[in-house]
Structure 1
């Protein structure tokens, strides 16, 4: 990484760095001994097309300016050009590591506009929650595994990719795809669970429980991991709220806020699970360690949810010959003219969709995605000032962003 000498639009004041006056030569505004470093997008810790312009004073970070790259997904433009049901494959590509939870938010929003959400069979709802929670665990495994890789631990990444592969195979068995599923349809599902899926999934839950104990003991509670993450990147709760942070980033700062409880959508109100939060167990509430610990604890809670769903799917709502997962799939989707916002708890936080419809077409006039990754990423500058340059990698990884959802 080398100092930049390009002419860009910035105004600099001690402890603050922002876009302002045109044609200002930035190095001329730096104090003696300060320099500008570019981290990414080639740096692996930036997790995609993301560049950080870092103002440093020796090894101390004075300020950080994120520059978003472009994956050219154009999700919102696609959504305004296609019928609601044909947009689901594009929803998958937002947070491509947690596509099922993104689908869940989209289809529930359209079903609420159509007024059919409460009419779905319970088996359909339990299957949706089952696959969404499986995908949530898989997404957290990528977050924790790549985070360990970012700060110098290689083996945990291999362990978590090994266990994530079991989930990928289960979801591939259900939908036919490994990452981009198009499984949840408006009004139902692509298909019922394959015969024998419930038994195989229950075997997986029994396999994973001791693996999560190993993850907690050998990685999260590891002395080196604790020293690398405790008291680093502390995000105070008021700052998290002001920046619109959600998901593990917000809950790591101590607020027990989860849309599965707050909104109580689908069958989540019927399920027993806890909402883990950061407590400052080894450092300060809201530090990098708390955010990672919350993700591991959420994997445990997701396992509890999965087991309860399996109990219902093999008991009260077991498969029958007259069950049709596509029975309520509308032939034509034409909601009334309205503005509508729907949201759900994805693996990264609150994923919301705003719809504007004219009542005449099955194509929305306006579709807007409220990206939890975008809001969580915006807090990087706030929690990095005063940190060591080497800690910036740890801070970025603890936020767990997927750039497909940021560039939408």
Structure 2
């Protein structure tokens, strides 16, 4: 070996040893990754700060931003009945349900729940359950899309479009309805609506069975979601998780049954719960299963409402959907009141604080379902693979209009 060759080999060894040592360090050092957003409308609204050790997640910190919704601040400068269009913009995928919860809260404070006509109550439940199905279709379709299944998304968006057209026919708006008013409705159902809705219900019944086979029972989907993101019941309760996420962990808790508001006590429907059929109780598959089963139960409610609305609660010329709408909403004294209802994503609650002799509230605070359900993400994601985080986030069914603060 020449002197030049020996010198080159010596220098090469001197460089390669520290480099090899640094490579070993990189294999064990934690990395900070900013995950998301994956959708154009999500920029600045939700960002996940993920600390990983290789492919294993050590910590997930959700950073929430602003969607310029400002519902709670708007409510402090407007009359109670003028706030309903802003309620729509919270969970904009299930606006009817949000309006229903808000209107029920004010009506209970005013003590006028007994004055609401039965036809109004059944119409409210009818449109709310149609919107519940549409909301679950978005949750299920986009969840399949998140983990690689394109066809279920296209099928569900096709059927959701029928629901949106029905709700647009009722209210005049595609997604943000302002249809359920305090004390009544904006207008009665259009002529011929009951027949078209019944036609849609008959069409959708077999489609739900097809979807069950296409996605929920699909072998690849089961393997991708079973035993992933397991949410124990005790953890769900401690974090304030509600709705399908809570029921997927095994607790049969639904405010439509527990609080028995509106005309739900007069209707026959079941509360689906997770049973750990494909994996562990409370996993991502259970959350998908519960939402799919709730679509079938909501369809049962829709059919029962249509039966009542076309028999003993038929439309008449004398019927006025605004007969019980108060002309002015004022409270003589300060009242602190909390009202809640079952939204597609969980318990939507409103805390009201009134100003004496004023039609503008001092404070309205919303207990948003998605905001509370998001809080459990960090606990669910510890120790899982990075790829599984996408499956877990999708199973939460988040709508950013409820999350921003």
> How does the TM-score come out when normalised to structure 2?
0.92
The equivalent residue for 1:381 is: 378
Q: Any conservation in 1 of the 2:353–2:363 contact (CA below 8 Å)?
A: yes
The alpha carbon displacement at 1:46 in A equals 6.8
The structure 2 residue matched to 1:73, chosen from 48, 57, 69, is: 69
The alpha carbon displacement at 1:42 in A equals 4.3
Q: Distance in 2 between matches of 1:260 and 1:271?
A: 10
Q: Distance in 2 between matches of 1:406 and 1:345?
A: 17
The equivalent residue for 1:306 is: 302
Structure 1 residue 220 corresponds to structure 2 residue 216: yes
Q: Distance in 1 between matches of 2:347 and 2:43?
A: 20
The alpha carbon displacement at 1:342 in A equals 0.6
Structure 1 residue 362 corresponds to structure 2 residue 359: yes
Q: Any conservation in 2 of the 1:92–1:102 contact (CA below 8 Å)?
A: yes
Q: Distance in 2 between matches of 1:248 and 1:47?
A: 26
SS in 1 for 2:322: coil
SS in 2 for 1:395: helix
Q: Distance in 2 between matches of 1:370 and 1:77?
A: 14
Q: Distance in 2 between matches of 1:65 and 1:184?
A: 37
The equivalent residue for 1:20 is: none
> How does the TM-score come out when normalised to structure 1?
0.91
Q: Distance in 1 between matches of 2:361 and 2:42?
A: 34
Q: Distance in 1 between matches of 2:148 and 2:60?
A: 22
The equivalent residue for 1:199 is: 195
Cα offsets for 1:236-264 (capped at 9, x unmatched): 00000000000001011010000000000
The equivalent residue for 1:169 is: 165
The alpha carbon displacement at 1:49 in A equals 2.1
Structure with more helix by fraction: 2
Unaligned residue ranges in structure 2 (runs of 5+):
1-25
The equivalent residue for 1:130 is: 126
The alpha carbon displacement at 1:358 in A equals 2.1
Aligned residue pairs: how many?
A: 379
Cα offsets for 1:12-46 (capped at 9, x unmatched): xxxxxxxxxxxxxxxxxx99321111001246797
SS in 1 for 2:379: helix
Structure 1 residue 285 corresponds to structure 2 residue 281: yes
The alpha carbon displacement at 1:48 in A equals 7.7
Structure 1 residue 406 corresponds to structure 2 residue 399: no
Alignment of 1:76-155 (within 5 A): 76-155=72-151
Cα offsets for 1:180-221 (capped at 9, x unmatched): 000001110000000110010001011001110011001100
Q: Any conservation in 2 of the 1:45–1:393 contact (CA below 8 Å)?
A: no
Unaligned residue ranges in structure 1 (runs of 5+):
1-29
Structure 1 residue 274 corresponds to structure 2 residue 255: no
Specify whether residues 44 and 229 from structure 1 end up closer, same or farther in structure 2 by C-alpha distance, changes over 3 A only. farther
Q: Distance in 2 between matches of 1:256 and 1:31?
A: 45
Specify whether residues 42 and 143 from structure 1 end up closer, same or farther in structure 2 by C-alpha distance, changes over 3 A only. closer
The alpha carbon displacement at 1:341 in A equals 0.6
Q: Any conservation in 2 of the 1:45–1:150 contact (CA below 8 Å)?
A: no
Q: Distance in 2 between matches of 1:31 and 1:291?
A: 35
Structure 1 residue 390 corresponds to structure 2 residue 387: yes
Cα offsets for 1:141-192 (capped at 9, x unmatched): 0000000000011111111000000000000000000100000011100000
Q: Distance in 1 between matches of 2:158 and 2:215?
A: 16
